[in-house]
Structure 1
Amino acid sequence: MFSNLSAGALGLSLDHTTAIELAATHGFGGVDPDLGHLRGLGSEAAAAEHGAAVRERGLEWGMAGLPIGLDAPAAEFREALVELPEALALLRAAGVTRVGTWIRPMHEELDHRQNWRLHLGRLSLVAEILDDAGLRLGLEYIGPKTLWSTERFPFVHSLREARELIAETGAGNVGLILDSYHWYTAGEGAADLAGLTDAEIISVDINDARSDRERDEQQDLDRRLPYDTGVIDLEGFMGAVHAAGYGGPVKVEPFLAELAEQPVDEVLADISRRLDRAIG
């Protein structure tokens, strides 16, 4: 596995070129691709040249965001579906192999069964299009009770449910985005990760949690940097990721606004050290 710089996940407003330079400078193994930047290059050939230049810097691609919302209104979903092949062609040309999205863990109108059927149908369709482009899709379940309990019908918010949804699609290119924060807030432990394989994991995020809140009081967008509080068992989490034989990107996604107020080189040096510790 490799340490991955995801500037957006850190709350840093870095343009793509700067992010690449800083990732190489601070010893990251990879950097997230930027679909907007690839589109601005104007062609698949230019995207391929860009991907080659990134690899020449000793960097691998992390994960791109899926440019379509699985729970979007029908008309919006259809429109995005039409535009999806063009976006995937650019990502493929650049050498990107992973895209990801999150599962909204509740709904005000659709009950669990209705929402499951919606996601299953859309996931199966999107996965087939991605597979044709040689891309894998990561799904992130969202664990905090303070989020999934805010609307009438809770939806997928645990590892077990996410794996069941993925299995039901029958798609071989769909897997998990494992986030230590969601794993912790879902009440899961290392035993729940036992038996996972590299093929089932698309990307990994690590974070810590506030020490002054109980698990069910934790807020999705109020996290701590890895190893800051020790609330989350990162040794157990990463031990299971190692045992799975995972070889992909690992990033930090803390949603800490104060990071953007600090010197960027200091922030990235610190994040790089924390990732190196996690990866071992």
Structure 2
Amino acid sequence: MFSNLSAGALGLPLVHTTAIDLAAAHGFGGVDPDPEYFRSLGSTGAVAEHAAEVRERGLEWGMAGLPVPLDAPAARFREALVDLPAALELLQAAGVTRVGTWIRPMHDSLDHRQNWRLHAGRLSLVAELLADAGLRLGLEYIGPKTFWSTERFPFIHGLREARELIADSGATNVGLILDSYHWYTAGESAEDLAGLTDADIVSVDINDARDDRERDEQQDLDRRLPYATGVIDLAGFMAAVHTAGYTGPVKVEPFMKELAEQPVDEVLADISARLDRAVAGE
């Protein structure tokens, strides 16, 4: 596995080329791709050249966002499918192999069964298109009860159901985005991760939680940097990820606005060190 700079996940307003420079300078192993920047290059050939330059700097690609909202109204979903091939062409030219999205863990009008059918069908369709472009899709379940309990019908918000949905879709190129924060708020343990393999995991996020709230009081967008409080058993979480033989990106996604107010080099030096600790399994 490798440490990955995801500027967007850190809330840092960095242009793509600056993110690449900073990732290399601070010893990250990878950096998130930027499809908008790829489009600005004008051709797949130029995108491939850019990707080669990134690799020459010792960096791998992290994960791009899936440009298709799985739970969108039908018309919007169809529009996104029409635009998807052009986006996939650029990602394929760049050598990007991972895209990801999150599962909205509740719905106001669709009950669990209806929402499941919607997601399983759309997931199967989208995964087939991604497979043709050599891409894997990561799904992230959202754990905080303060979020999934806010609408009439709770939906997937834990590891077991996320894996069941993937299996039900029949797709072989779909796996998990494992986030330590959601793993913790879902009440899961290292034992729940036993048996996972590299094929089951597309990306990994590490975060810590506030130490002045109980698990069911934690807020999705109010997290702490990994190893900051010790509320989340990151040693156990990462040990399970290591046991799975995971080879992909590991990033930090804390939703802390104050990071953008600090000197960027200081922030990235700190984030890089925390990720190195996780990747090393310390």
TM class by shorter chain equals over 0.9
Q: Which residue of 1 aligns with 2:59?
A: 59
Indicate yes or no: 2:191 matched with 1:191.
Answer: yes
- Whichever residue aligns with residue 41 of structure 1, its letter is L
Return structure 1 stretches of 4+ with deviation > 4 angstroms: none
Q: Which residue of 2 aligns with 1:39?
A: 39
- Whichever residue aligns with residue 200 of structure 2, its letter is E
CA distance in 2, matches of 1:192, 1:10: 28
Q: Which residue of 2 aligns with 1:8?
A: 8
Per-residue CA deviation, residues 168-209 of structure 1 (Å, 9 max, x unaligned), is 111110000000000000000000000000000000000000
Q: Which residue of 2 aligns with 1:182?
A: 182
Q: Which residue of 1 aligns with 2:159?
A: 159
SS of the aligned residue for 2:88 comes to: helix
CA distance in 2, matches of 1:82, 1:129: 11
SS of the aligned residue for 1:53 comes to: helix
CA distance in 1, matches of 2:65, 2:196: 23
Q: Which residue of 2 aligns with 1:260?
A: 260
SS of the aligned residue for 2:226 comes to: coil
- Whichever residue aligns with residue 215 of structure 2, its letter is R
SS of the aligned residue for 2:81 comes to: helix
Q: Which residue of 2 aligns with 1:250?
A: 250
Q: Which residue of 1 aligns with 2:229?
A: 229
CA distance in 2, matches of 1:243, 1:170: 25
Indicate yes or no: 2:21 matched with 1:21.
Answer: yes
Q: Which residue of 2 aligns with 1:127?
A: 127
5+ long unaligned stretches in structure 1: none
Per-residue CA deviation, residues 145-169 of structure 1 (Å, 9 max, x unaligned), is 0000000000000000000000111
SS of the aligned residue for 1:143 comes to: coil
TM norm structure 1: 1.00
CA distance in 1, matches of 2:227, 2:5: 18
Indicate yes or no: 2:239 matched with 1:239.
Answer: yes
CA distance in 1, matches of 2:83, 2:251: 28
CA distance in 1, matches of 2:95, 2:269: 27
Aligned residues: 280
- Whichever residue aligns with residue 3 of structure 1, its letter is S
Indicate yes or no: 2:76 matched with 1:76.
Answer: yes
Give 1:86 shift.
0.6
Q: Which residue of 1 aligns with 2:219?
A: 219
CA distance in 1, matches of 2:50, 2:91: 11
- Whichever residue aligns with residue 87 of structure 1, its letter is A
- Whichever residue aligns with residue 64 of structure 1, its letter is A
- Whichever residue aligns with residue 108 of structure 2, its letter is E
CA distance in 2, matches of 1:236, 1:172: 27
TM norm structure 2: 0.99
Indicate yes or no: 2:99 matched with 1:96.
Answer: no
CA distance in 2, matches of 1:91, 1:42: 13
- Whichever residue aligns with residue 124 of structure 1, its letter is S
Give 1:249 shift.
0.1
Per-residue CA deviation, residues 74-132 of structure 1 (Å, 9 max, x unaligned), is 10100010010110010010010000000000000000000000000100000000000
Q: Which residue of 2 aligns with 1:170?
A: 170
SS of the aligned residue for 1:177 comes to: strand
CA distance in 2, matches of 1:107, 1:51: 39
Give 1:48 shift.
0.6
- Whichever residue aligns with residue 181 of structure 2, its letter is Y
